[in-house]
Amino acid sequence: MRSSFSKKAMAVLLAAGMTLPMMAVNVSADELTDGKFAETKHITVEVYDRGNDGGSDPTNNKYTKYIQDQMLERYNVEVEFVAVPRWTEVEQINNLLAAGDAPDICVTYDYPTIQTYANMGGVLDLSSYVDDNKDILPNLWDWLGETNLYWDKDPESGTIWAIEAKLATSNRINTFVRKDWLDKLGLAEPTTKQEFEDMLIAFRDNAETLLGEDADKMVPYSVSYDVGWRAATLLESFIDPDISDKDFYIYGFDDRKFTEPGVKEGVRLLNKWYNDGLMWKDFALYGSGDTTEDDMMKAGYVGAFTHNWDYPYRNGEDSIQTNLQRMVGEDATYVVIDPFEDSKGTHTKFVPGPIDRKIFFPATNDEPLASMLYLDFISSPEVIEYLQIGDEGVTHNVLDDGAVEVIAATGDDIQNSGFNIDYTITCNGLKLVDEEQTLKSTAHSYAGIDPAQVEHANEVANTDLHVGKNVNVGTIEAEEGQGPALSEKKDVVFDNAVIAPSEEFDSVWDAGMEDYLSSGGQAIIDERTEKFEATFGDVDMLP
């Protein structure tokens, strides 16, 4: 049965911080005849709006129409897409949940937001929907399995407030450098932090040689306001590569490793580089979604940067590398280097478990079975493949060895996100039906980019991996509602510490960290410590 509470009534209760009564929605496969609903159902699905220049409407394009047609034909379910700005998605989801207007299927990277509304009765418990309908959800179960479906399952209550999407690849962060600049200055690719610093100095001191009349626009090394992500491999090289599972979990509630032991020293090195004129002076002024930095890279002013493992190769004809080559010449390319050694001389890269975005249903979802069938449909190998590579001859070619080569798309065929991950919400990363073909195709997945460069980027991204484990100790109450506030504080501390005068670095960092901890960070650390020890005893490493 449907809830007797209207969305407006739910919004009033949530806005007042009150707990909604638990709502029973009977879900049964008996509603289906030959796999379809007799009566047409209607569901709404969140999709990120990335604001891409020249992109397609994220709610109305070739791929949304494909999904809508297929869902209507297979299940008699109408699908409506609701756009949420990618770079403010946490704030927007909070607003939509509070107003009772959230889409039936929501996606976010921020689990504490889900937990906060779940505790107020604003999120559906998915445990029965996942378990009781296993027979009609074969694709969802085959792709995510118990690992991702049960990743957030409460060990005591058994509730599942969210399903974790799966990473098809663990690739995360790489550092890129202008190969033509290295060649012009007779420099080898750096393999250590000191060699990397020496390279940045060479870029700075030879700005006129490299940029001519644009020498004043020289940026030896670039990061964004989001220092914790954008300088991740550098910062994490200061973490003990043999850190215990216990410590990694306790201090790892922020995915930027902000409170992990050792990170401060990584920021200290960035502070040195900033004060030595080796970094983008204005990096802290430009927030999420701003294109200023990308534009500088495309124009040829940036020597090196750290970013997502394949960042300059993305977006086909509008990729950073393709634009750079148009502006500067064919030799102007960004290649991947691996210069940030840790205390063991290796290059440890801390990657999460196989989890990605969190998928949940707000309590206002009165079509949970139709929504579960949507997740099953979107997890079908054939559907994932089509959404990722589109039509042969239009968005991809098939090479003689069977590898898929992505080609630049135009108009409605443009994908607003790499491999259309904004629609393949249970899958992040290339996943073709044939696993061998997937492996062959990875290097050919970037229109106009030399496959050898992609192969090298993939190889470096998978060097010395430290894969996170699922430490499930139940709800950490101290984390509830803290995500956006602590994240903003963290960014401010990172930025202020990097740009501080060198002699003020310690005082700026320490004061910022003290404020962060007193604002809720320490309570999270304490509760994580308590619950880890209650669950695992005096064990420091997990199997």
Helix (H) or strand (E) holding 49: strand 41-49
Q: What's the pLDDT tens digit per position in 157-204?
A: 999 999 999 999 989 999 999 999 999 999 999 999 999 999 999 999
212, two tokens:
């001519």
Question: Does residue 457 belong to any structural domain of this protein?
Answer: no
The partner residues of 173 in beta bridges, in order of sequence, read: 308
Question: Do 517 and 410 share a domain, yes or no?
Answer: no
65: domain range? Answer: 30-170+355-433
Tell me: do 343 and 252 sit in the same domain: yes
CB 486 within 8 A of CB 466: no
pLDDT at 1: 34
Return the pLDDT at 14: 58
Q: What is the DSSP string of 464-518?
A: TEEE---------GGGTTTHHHHHHHHHHHHHHHHHS-GGGHHHHHHHHHHHHII
Do 177 and 166 fall into the same domain? no
Place of tokens 């509760």: 527
Is the domain of 330 the same as that of 195? Answer: yes
Model pLDDT, residue 12: 54
pLDDT digits (tens, 9 = 90+) for 363-410: 999 999 999 999 999 999 999 999 999 999 999 999 999 999 999 898
Question: How many C-beta neighbours within 10 Å does residue 479 have?
Answer: 19
Largest CA distance in the chain: 73
User: What pLDDT is attached to residue 264?
Assistant: 98
Query: Same structural domain for residues 35 and 134?
Result: yes
Please name the residues in contact with 420: beta carbons below 8 A apart, sequence gap of 6 or more: 63, 387, 388
In this structure, the answer to whether residues 303 and 205 fall within a common structural domain is yes
Residues 364 and 304 in one domain: no
Q: Is residue 42 located within the same domain as residue 103? A: yes
Does one domain contain both 331 and 364?
Answer: no
- Please identify, among 405, 433, 461, the residue that sits at the C-terminal boundary of a domain: 433
What integer pLDDT is reported at residue 26 of this predicted model?
A: 55
Is there a single domain that holds both residue 381 and residue 489?
no
pLDDT score of 18: 58
- Cα–Cα distance measured from residue 318 to residue 25, given in angstroms and rounded to the nearest whole number: 46
Measured between alpha carbons, how far is 190 from 207 in angstroms, rounded to an integer? 19
> How many distinct structural domains can be found in the chain?
2
Q: Would 7 be classed as within a structural domain? A: no
pLDDT value at residue 482: 87
Torsion of CA 385, 389, 393, 398, to 10 degrees: -70
340: helix, coil or strand?
coil
Pair (122, 261) in one structural domain: no
Pair 234, 340: CB distance under 8 Å: yes
List average pLDDT for each run of 10 residues in the chain, which is 543 residues long.
48 58 59 94 97 90 98 98 95 94 96 93 97 97 98 96 96 97 98 98 98 98 97 98 97 94 98 98 95 97 98 94 97 98 97 94 97 98 98 96 93 92 97 95 95 97 95 93 90 98 98 98 98 97 95
Q: Are residues 408 and 479 in the same domain?
A: no
Q: What is the pTM of this model?
A: 0.87
Q: Is residue 59 part of a domain?
A: yes
pLDDT at position 29 is 76
Closest CA to 148 of 135, 157, 139: 139
CATH code at 274? 3.40.190.10
258: phi then psi, degrees, rounded to nearest 5: -55, -40
